[in-house]
């Protein structure tokens, strides 16, 4: 507490990264603040039989005493908390919470005291960045990468063939999903436009944002119009508290089914209004070269974050876990959007990310603290022009107009996350540049990633390697010199 402060402040530990703050305001300060409030009311109120500003104190007290005390209490709480936060260098994570049902009332001639608790940014040490090694995958864009990207574009620009039955992997099913908690009769969620894309044979699939086993088997021998039952076990740290850790029964009625037939290269050339297939390949080459450079930065950034978070010892505020799951999923979603993934691939990978929600929540909180520290340390900021440029870039990756994407992001309350993501990426890039960067051939890098990836049972799997090879070949890295 500063020498000139009128408040007596006591700050105590109340849990991991949580503080209990008790503020006591001396009676003379209470009386002065209350008198000022009464004088303000007296100078502004108009009462019959009294001139403005000449209403007796007793009348003001009778008519407006409760309101004046409430306003005085609000002001003293606000100023007292400000003093506590500034004098003890606290960084709030959430709004303070009263320790009792209500804050004590204001009484003339009596000290006013209140106690709150709040989560704060904890103190923690960062590792020496110069001692951390990160790998930069390097690869030239080759003919096979061009062929795969053109194939993907042909599929994206293909036409849907309506189906009635005989559903196969890759088919798209649109219908009505009705969700009910196990043991209850009344549904808690209904969506008339639920999309299910059947995964590759033997793979798990995404349904309503969660990963489900045997999705192809569930829809085998089904037809348009059928009501298909699906059981979903919701993770313990799911964003919605009312279904967290519960079993949800879904009834999905198939309204429309279609199979996407890829367009021809000639049709793709015409769709992009290009003069020839050769020009198409040149354009794809340039796009892949730009994407590989961006992907290389993303890989370095992600490694830097992961390695530092692993070494951070930080107390985790209990109340932040659920919120951080949602924040982390937003970060995952925007990162995939930045990589140019299509909408269904994004939702599938977000669903996969939900599966280890406890680790996600804890790592997400550590990451938040790390970003806050780096942004302040490197004095990083983002302006409106950079946000607009990022929206244009994301829109180009998705093949939509920037205003359309902006509207969609705003509708999903994700527009503010764009600026946050840019800030965090700048911070992570600055951190990565302090580390030891080692170049590695991209094929060797993919093999290393596949060997290190755990399967659902915790064992390593070669299937992950094959899957990564298929997707990563579209995100190639350029050969560069070692830093």
- Residue 82 within any structural domain of the chain: yes
- The last residue of one of the domains, among 261, 286, 312, is 261
Contact predicate 24/1, CB 8 Å: no
Q: Place 396 in a pLDDT band, splitting at 50, 70 and 90.
A: confident
- The mean pLDDT value for 161-187 works out to 94
Query: Interior CA angle at 425 toward 368 and 400, to 5°?
Result: 115
Domain residues for the domain of 351 are 129-154+275-472
| CA–CA distance, 98 with 45 (Å, rounded to integer) | 33
**Which position has the token pair 């059947």?**
198
**Could you report the per-residue pLDDT of 269-310, keeping only the tens digit for each?**
998 899 999 999 999 999 898 888 888 999 999 999 999 999
Same domain? For 300 and 398 the reply is: yes
Indicate if 236 and 170 belong to the same structural domain.
Answer: yes
pLDDT digits (tens, 9 = 90+) for 117-139: 988 888 889 999 999 999 999 88
What is the model's pLDDT at position 456? 31
Q: Are residues 165 and 149 in the same domain?
A: no
Min mean pLDDT across 8-12, 101-105, 301-305, 386-390 is at: 101-105
Is position 208 within any domain?
yes
Backbone angles phi, psi at 119, to 5 degrees: -80, 140
Could you tell me the pLDDT band of residue 255, with boundaries at 50, 70 and 90?
very high
- Single pTM value for the model: 0.62
- Is a pLDDT exceeding 90 seen at residue 348? no
Residues 201 and 84 in one domain: no
Q: What is the pLDDT of residue 54?
A: 62
* CA dist 77 → 1, 61, 221, 250, 347 (Å): 16, 22, 65, 48, 44
- Report yes or no: 406 and 415 within 8 Å, Cβ to Cβ: yes
Round to whole Å and give the CA distance between 208 and 194. Answer: 7
Q: Which pLDDT value is given to residue 60?
A: 67
Mean pLDDT, to the nearest integer, of 169-179?
94
- Within this chain, do residues 310 and 224 fall inside the same structural domain, yes or no? no
Which stretch of DSSP H or E encloses residue 241? none
Same domain, 167 and 282: no
Q: Is the pLDDT of residue 463 over 60?
A: no
Provide the CATH number for the domain around residue 226. 3.10.50.40
d(CA 143, CA 148): 9
Residue with tokens 């978070």: 309
| Statement to judge: residues 323 and 393 lie in one domain | yes
**48 and 167 belong to one structural domain:** no
Helix (H) or strand (E) holding 203: none
Burial of 12 (0-12, 13-18, 19+ CB in 10 A): exposed
Burial class of residue 139, CB neighbours in 10 A (0-12, 13-18, 19+): buried
pLDDT at 362 over 80: no
Domain co-membership, 90 together with 136: no
- Asked if 84 and 178 sit in the same domain, the reply is no
Does 63 or 109 have the greater pLDDT score? Answer: 109
Q: What tens digit of pLDDT does each residue of 421-460 get?
A: 899 999 999 999 999 999 998 888 888 887 654 333 333 3
Segment among 1-15, 17-31, 81-95 with least mean pLDDT: 1-15
More confident residue, 291 or 323: 291
Q: In the chain, how many domains are there?
A: 3
- What CA–CA distance (Å, rounded) separates 112 from 100? 15
Q: Write out the E strands in 159-309.
A: 159-163, 172-181, 189-197, 205-207, 210-212, 227-233, 247-261
- Domain end point (choices 233, 261, 289): 261
Decide if 266 is inside a domain.
no
Residue 472 pLDDT exceeds 60 = no
In a domain, 480, yes or no: no
pLDDT at 102: 65
Q: How many residues does the chain have?
A: 483
The DSSP-derived string for 406-454 is HHHHHHTT-HHHHHHHHHHHHHHHHHHTTSEEEEEEHHHHHHHHHHH-B
- Tell me if 453 is assigned to some domain: yes
261, 296, 313: which is the final residue of a domain?
A: 261
Within-domain flag for 394:
yes
CA dihedral 221, 224, 226, 232 (to 10 degrees): 80
468 in any annotated domain: yes
Q: Which residue has the tokens 């196990």?
A: 182
CATH number at residue 410: 1.10.3120
In a domain, 98, yes or no: yes
Considering the domain architecture, whether residues 89 and 208 belong to the same structural domain is answered as no
pLDDT of residue 462: 36
CATH number at residue 95: 3.30.70.1050
Residue with tokens 């001139």: 51
Q: Do residues 150 and 243 both lie within one domain?
A: no
């Amino acid at each position: 507490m500063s020498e000139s402060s009128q408040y007596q402040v006591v700050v105590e530990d109340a849990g991991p990264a949580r503080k209990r703050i008790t503020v006591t305001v001396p009676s003379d300060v209470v009386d002065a603040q209350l008198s000022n409030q009464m004088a303000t009311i007296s100078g502004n109120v108009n009462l019959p039989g009294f001139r403005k500003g000449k209403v007796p104190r007793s009348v003001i007290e009778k008519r407006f005493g409760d309101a004046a005390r409430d306003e005085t209490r609000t002001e003293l709480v606000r100023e007292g908390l400000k003093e506590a936060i500034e004098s003890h260098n606290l960084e709030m994570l959430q709004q303070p919470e009263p320790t009792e049902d209500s804050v004590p009332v204001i009484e003339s001639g009596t000290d006013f005291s209140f106690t709150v608790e709040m989560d704060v940014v904890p103190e923690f040490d960062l590792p020496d960045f110069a001692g951390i090694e990160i790998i930069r995958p390097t690869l030239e864009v080759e003919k096979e990468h061009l062929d795969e990207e053109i194939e993907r574009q042909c599929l994206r620009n293909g036409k849907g063939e309506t189906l009635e039955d005989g559903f196969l992997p890759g088919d798209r099913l649109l219908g009505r999903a009705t969700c009910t908690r196990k043991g209850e009769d009344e549904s808690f969620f209904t969506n008339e436009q639920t999309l299910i894309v059947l995964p590759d044979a033997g793979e798990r699939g995404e349904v309503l944002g969660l990963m489900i086993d045997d999705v192809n088997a569930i829809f085998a021998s089904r037809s348009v119009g059928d009501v298909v039952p699906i059981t979903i076990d919701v993770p313990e740290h799911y964003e919605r508290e009312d279904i967290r850790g519960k079993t949800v029964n879904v009834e999905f009625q198939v309204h429309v089914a279609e199979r996407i037939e890829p367009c021809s290269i000639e049709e793709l050339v015409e769709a992009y209004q290009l003069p020839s297939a050769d020009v198409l390949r040149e354009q794809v080459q340039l796009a892949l070269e730009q994407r590989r450079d961006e992907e290389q930065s993303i890989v370095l950034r992600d490694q830097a974050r992961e390695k530092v978070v692993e070494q951070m010892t930080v107390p985790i505020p209990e109340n932040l876990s659920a919120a951080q799951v949602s924040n982390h999923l937003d970060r995952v979603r925007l990162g995939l959007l930045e990589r140019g993934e299509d909408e269904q691939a994004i939702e599938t990978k977000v669903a996969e990310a939900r599966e280890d929600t406890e680790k996600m929540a804890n790592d997400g909180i550590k990451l938040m603290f790390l970003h806050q520290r780096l942004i302040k340390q490197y004095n990083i900021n983002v302006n409106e022009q950079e946000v607009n440029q990022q929206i244009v870039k994301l829109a180009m990756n998705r093949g939509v107009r920037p205003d359309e994407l902006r509207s969609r992001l705003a509708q999903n309350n994700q527009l503010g996350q764009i600026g946050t993501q840019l800030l965090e990426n700048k911070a992570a890039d600055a951190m990565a540049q302090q580390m030891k960067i080692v170049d590695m051939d991209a094929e060797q890098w993919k093999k290393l990633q596949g060997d290190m990836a755990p399967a659902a049972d915790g064992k390593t799997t070669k299937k992950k390697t094959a899957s990564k090879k298929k997707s990563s070949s579209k995100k190639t890295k350029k050969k560069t010199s070692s830093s």
